[in-house]
């Protein structure tokens, strides 16, 4: 279907939630670039940009920004241990994420294999406003404290 039709349900749900609890208390997570579980798109950037365009319009309509937009990315963009992925493919995926970041008017969060160092770099470069870290929390419930004191981390088992 058209991009407009593919965005319609998401936007109807988001607008209903915004009307119920307020725009600044709503966050959205999208995964337009992920290509597993047969959830691929022929043009993931166009899809992501269409969603972002609709979210930007919603924010303008309500006169306030969403709490954040969380865009997941393939782990191999930032994960130093990526296997079987060419540098060219990593660069293409990073460019896609950059286009989404530039298009969104608000707090932009990303996840996908960040370490403390890579997360700090991404924020410092303006690639993201926030990072999300999931797997490391499973084996390091005190992850924030470990990051603060540069303590070693327990390995997670995937």
Q: Quote the pLDDT of residue 121.
A: 93
Could you list the pLDDT tens digit for every one of the 158 residues in the chain? 889 998 999 999 999 999 999 999 999 999 887 766 676 777 888 999 999 999 999 999 999 999 999 999 875 545 554 555 677 777 877 888 899 999 999 999 999 878 899 899 999 999 999 999 888 888 999 999 999 999 999 988 77
CA 125 – CA 42 distance, rounded (Å) = 29
Closest CA to 100 of 75, 130, 127: 127
Q: Quote the pLDDT of residue 41.
A: 72
User: Phi and psi of 132, rounded to 5°?
Assistant: -115, 135
8 A C-beta contact, residue 51 and residue 72: no
Give the bridge partners for 69, in sequence order.
28, 108
Determine the straight-line distance between the first and last CA of the chain, rounded to whole angstroms. Answer: 35
Q: Quote the pLDDT of residue 35.
A: 66
């Amino acid at each position: 279907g058209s991009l407009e039709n593919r965005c319609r349900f998401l936007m109807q749900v988001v607008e209903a939630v915004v009307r119920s609890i307020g725009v600044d208390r709503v966050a959205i997570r999208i995964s337009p670039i992920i290509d597993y579980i047969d959830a691929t798109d022929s043009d993931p950037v166009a899809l992501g940009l269409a969603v972002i365009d609709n979210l930007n319009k919603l924010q303008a309509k309500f006169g306030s920004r969403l709490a954040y937009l969380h865009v997941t990315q393939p782990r191999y963009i930032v994960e130093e241990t990526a296997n079987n992925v060419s540098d060219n493919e990593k660069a293409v995926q990073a460019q896609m994420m950059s286009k989404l970041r530039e298009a969104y008017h608000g707090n932009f969060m990303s996840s996908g294999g960040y370490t403390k160092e890579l997360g700090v770099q991404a924020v410092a470069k303006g690639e993201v406003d926030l990072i999300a870290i999931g797997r490391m929390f499973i084996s390091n419930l005190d992850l924030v404290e470990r990051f603060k004191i540069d303590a070693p981390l327990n390995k997670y088992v995937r």
